A and B are shown apart, each in its own frame.
Chain A
């Protein structure tokens, strides 16, 4: 138990350490190449051209760069929530209608690339894509470009470029339109793909909350300095990401050519020994969230059940409404609401706490029903006997009814725990790196969704197994207990 709490404290501490000595920057490393990603599946060292850039910037402005992982979709909400200071993750300058963020000067520019299979004959440019299926990332720009000029194009959205490109390879889509730099990186890695067309231009900026004007000014000066001393060009060249658009951007800056060779892009075979310690750590996080979440659910569920049965009618109606409402809304929405919604009204919970509380509250509605059924199953005579012995209502509940109800509902409770354990994977969407997140992080790095998937499924199963056993054991013992209830019909004369 102590360890769990210290873990929570750690998260709270992370939240609080927003001091000036560090520059907390965020990106999504999942399918992050070549922007921000891990060198190998041990997730030990971060790399990528944006990693290089932000570290250089941090050095120039005299801060220590500290990385924060977050899901691409919620990078900006996380920024506004104060989880980190800046985001650098291929954010297009001036993109979106984000009124609440500041953009730095662009540090990179490229177009959108159209990728097709080498054997594709019909499509030779973007204009040929009418009546074809084109995959894009969740990115408004490419969608606007496509649907504005082509009326009959069918657009498919992908969560990441790897999925898009492998679907292209498998023939599910005819072409993929995505940022040139990502395409350039992957086309070398996946055989049979080629870039045939490039359109538009987007520039990338670092973003910070609107309140961070001073920081953005510092970053702008640092970017100017990097252009001037050529270090920006060195980094871009190192990653083989030079193109016409960014030559224009860099114009004026000099610098030596190609200092390093490009990083290797062939992947070694996955070494499971390397990722197991990571999964062990992630499993501890999953288990922590699940156990504490279940604890919250049981305590809260019990309160709701007692209110429902014993409280005055209108309070009881209130409890029923809460239970029904929680049961009738998706957990994911509750999670986003608690984590990204509540800060609006001044309740900002650390990710771990938000995850535990949301899972706990959601499952409390199920536990409340379990407890209600459990308490209803206790014969009325138990309460009478307790009252006849002089116990008041609360004492009777506390010592007689609840313990018996608890034994009664242990099997469904355990089943719910297994379900909660699996649902805990959703907290990966609020920046917590637990088992599921670790799976997508390592697998999108090593591109081994198969083997890693089997490993992570096995871990989930093994975590749940002891609790299934407990359920069986409880069920067996409950049967013994039940004998106490089955009394013969009284013989009346």
Chain B
């Protein structure tokens, strides 16, 4: 087992099964603070499952996850379930998540979407929460849309609002699961730009994406997954110019 939990995110030997199906097999990696990491790979290879494990939306079956010093071990669940879930809650506090389908709350305005969790989870003063929400909407270019309901927005606007909502919890890490996959092509860029801006501010981000050009240009690392395993982790240029593994080469060929 690796003994250097210095990095912001440290994952070792992570396994996840659905019944007989082994979805994640001994996944291990480290990510330093401030990095932007793209995860690519064919459909069904376990990318979403990996992100969901990092956010404790799924129970891990084996291995351990450390994010910003909070260490969650699958083995602990059997020992002390209560402690495990308290740790999971702590860990989740440091992680923001953005979904392919936005998942904004349709019965609330954009501002209320962003205020709600701050008040309910962090017991933030509503006035302060409101202020932060306005600032964040401004930041993602939706300053004028605070009072609008999600259904009156375009897909790109919704996704930017969803990013603002996740940022309001002041996470150390942002996870994106195919954030642009359900957007019309002309809206993809506005969402990607938000992520680039966040990268410049030093946010640590993991992005599951099919936008190869974005992955190539913006990422510090690219992770290639297949069949529940990490096949290759490498520099953004290297993987495109000179993939180390045959499987990676075959996959990338279809995009180039």
Taking Cβ atoms with an 8 Å cutoff, the residues of A that contact B are: 379, 381-382, 384-392, 395, 399-400, 403-404, 407, 480-481, 483-485, 487-493
Assuming the contacts A389-B169, A483-B151, asked whether A384 and B121 have C-beta atoms less than 8 A apart, the reply is no
Docked Cα-Cα span, A175 to B180, in Å, equals 86
**A388 and B93 contact, CB distance less than 8 A:** no
Q: Which residues of B contact A399 (CB under 8 A)?
A: 116, 120
**B55 and A395 contact, CB distance less than 8 A:** no
- Max chain A C-beta neighbours (<10 A), residue from B117, B155, B254: B117
Q: Which residues of A contact B43 (CB under 8 A)?
A: 492-493
Taking Cβ atoms with an 8 Å cutoff, the residues of B that contact A are: 43, 55, 57, 89, 92-93, 95-97, 99-107, 116-117, 120-122, 149-151, 155, 162, 165-166, 169, 178, 181-182, 210, 254-255
**B182 and A404 contact, CB distance less than 8 A:** no
Question: Besides the contacts A385-B105, A386-B105, A488-B155, what 6 more A-B pairs have beta carbons closer than 8 Å?
Answer: A388-B97, A389-B116, A390-B169, A399-B120, A484-B150, A487-B155
Which residue of B92, B103, B122 contacts A382 across the interface (Cβ within 8 Å)?
A: B103
**A395 and B121 contact, CB distance less than 8 A:** yes
**B181 and A491 contact, CB distance less than 8 A:** yes
10 closest Cβ pairs, A-B complex: A484-B106, A385-B103, A389-B117, A381-B103, A388-B97, A390-B121, A484-B151, A490-B182, A483-B151, A490-B181
**B165 and A407 contact, CB distance less than 8 A:** no
Determine how close the nearest CB of chain A comes to the CB of B230; give it in whole angstroms.
20
User: Between A and B, how many residue pairs show CB distances below 8 Å?
Assistant: 86
Docked Cα-Cα span, A485 to B210, in Å, equals 24
Docked Cα-Cα span, A385 to B182, in Å, equals 17
**B151 and A480 contact, CB distance less than 8 A:** yes
Which residue of A381, A403, A404, A481 contacts B99 across the interface (Cβ within 8 Å)?
A: A381
Q: Which residue of B lies closest to A390 (CB)?
A: B121
**B210 and A384 contact, CB distance less than 8 A:** no
Main secondary structure of the interface of B (DSSP, over half): loop
Q: Which residue of B lies closest to A492 (CB)?
A: B43
Assuming the contacts A400-B105, A487-B182, asked whether A389 and B151 have C-beta atoms less than 8 A apart, the reply is no
Q: Which residue of A lies closest to B102 (CB)?
A: A487
Q: What are 24 residue pairs bridging A and B, where the CB atoms are less than 8 Å apart in the complex?
A: A381-B99, A381-B103, A382-B103, A384-B57, A384-B99, A386-B117, A388-B96, A390-B93, A390-B117, A390-B169, A391-B121, A399-B116, A404-B105, A481-B107, A483-B151, A484-B149, A484-B150, A487-B102, A488-B155, A489-B182, A491-B181, A492-B181, A492-B210, A493-B255
Q: Which residues of A contact B149 (CB under 8 A)?
A: 484
Q: Which residues of A contact B116 (CB under 8 A)?
A: 389, 399
Q: Which residues of A contact B102 (CB under 8 A)?
A: 487
Q: Which residue of B lies closest to A480 (CB)?
A: B151
Q: Which residue of B lies closest to A403 (CB)?
A: B107
Docked Cα-Cα span, A382 to B162, in Å, equals 12
Docked Cα-Cα span, A483 to B152, in Å, equals 9
**B105 and A388 contact, CB distance less than 8 A:** no
Assuming the contacts A399-B116, A484-B104, asked whether A389 and B182 have C-beta atoms less than 8 A apart, the reply is no
Docked Cα-Cα span, A18 to B255, in Å, equals 89
Docked Cα-Cα span, A216 to B238, in Å, equals 107
Docked Cα-Cα span, A492 to B254, in Å, equals 13
**A390 and B92 contact, CB distance less than 8 A:** yes
Q: Which residues of B contact A487 (CB under 8 A)?
A: 101-102, 155, 182
**B121 and A491 contact, CB distance less than 8 A:** no
- Max chain A C-beta neighbours (<10 A), residue from B102, B105, B122, B155: B105
Determine how close the nearest CB of chain A comes to the CB of B173; give it in whole angstroms.
12
**B178 and A490 contact, CB distance less than 8 A:** yes
Assuming the contacts A390-B117, A391-B121, A484-B151, asked whether A384 and B181 have C-beta atoms less than 8 A apart, the reply is no
Determine how close the nearest CB of chain A comes to the CB of B213; give it in whole angstroms.
13
Q: Which residue of B lies closest to A483 (CB)?
A: B151
Docked Cα-Cα span, A462 to B178, in Å, equals 54
Q: Which residues of A contact B182 (CB under 8 A)?
A: 487-491
Docked Cα-Cα span, A76 to B166, in Å, equals 67
**B99 and A493 contact, CB distance less than 8 A:** no
Q: Which residues of A contact B150 (CB under 8 A)?
A: 484
Assuming the contacts A382-B105, A399-B120, asked whether A389 and B166 have C-beta atoms less than 8 A apart, the reply is yes
Determine how close the nearest CB of chain B comes to the CB of A8; give it in whole angstroms.
33
Determine how close the nearest CB of chain B comes to the CB of A73; give it in whole angstroms.
49
Q: Which residues of B contact A392 (CB under 8 A)?
A: 89
Which residue of B106, B155, B165 contacts A389 across the interface (Cβ within 8 Å)?
A: B165
Docked Cα-Cα span, A333 to B174, in Å, equals 59
**B103 and A407 contact, CB distance less than 8 A:** no
Docked Cα-Cα span, A481 to B116, in Å, equals 19
Q: Which residue of A lies closest to B149 (CB)?
A: A484
Determine how close the nearest CB of chain B comes to the CB of A96; give it in whole angstroms.
60
Docked Cα-Cα span, A385 to B169, in Å, equals 13
- Max chain B C-beta neighbours (<10 A), residue from A390, A483, A491: A390
Q: Which residues of A contact B120 (CB under 8 A)?
A: 391, 395, 399
Q: Which residues of B contact A493 (CB under 8 A)?
A: 43, 210, 254-255
**B169 and A404 contact, CB distance less than 8 A:** no
Docked Cα-Cα span, A384 to B102, in Å, equals 11
Docked Cα-Cα span, A315 to B254, in Å, equals 53
Determine how close the nearest CB of chain A comes to the CB of B99; give it in whole angstroms.
6
Docked Cα-Cα span, A400 to B95, in Å, equals 20
Q: Which residue of B lies closest to A404 (CB)?
A: B107
Q: Which residues of A contact B181 (CB under 8 A)?
A: 490-492
Determine how close the nearest CB of chain A comes to the CB of B106; give it in whole angstroms.
3
Assuming the contacts A483-B151, A484-B150, asked whether A388 and B92 have C-beta atoms less than 8 A apart, the reply is yes
Docked Cα-Cα span, A442 to B255, in Å, equals 84
Q: Which residue of A lies closest to B89 (CB)?
A: A390
Docked Cα-Cα span, A297 to B102, in Å, equals 34
- Max chain A C-beta neighbours (<10 A), residue from B99, B100, B101: B101
Docked Cα-Cα span, A488 to B181, in Å, equals 10
Docked Cα-Cα span, A395 to B89, in Å, equals 14
Q: Which residue of B lies closest to A383 (CB)?
A: B103
Q: Which residues of A contact B166 (CB under 8 A)?
A: 388-389
Q: Which residue of B lies closest to A385 (CB)?
A: B103
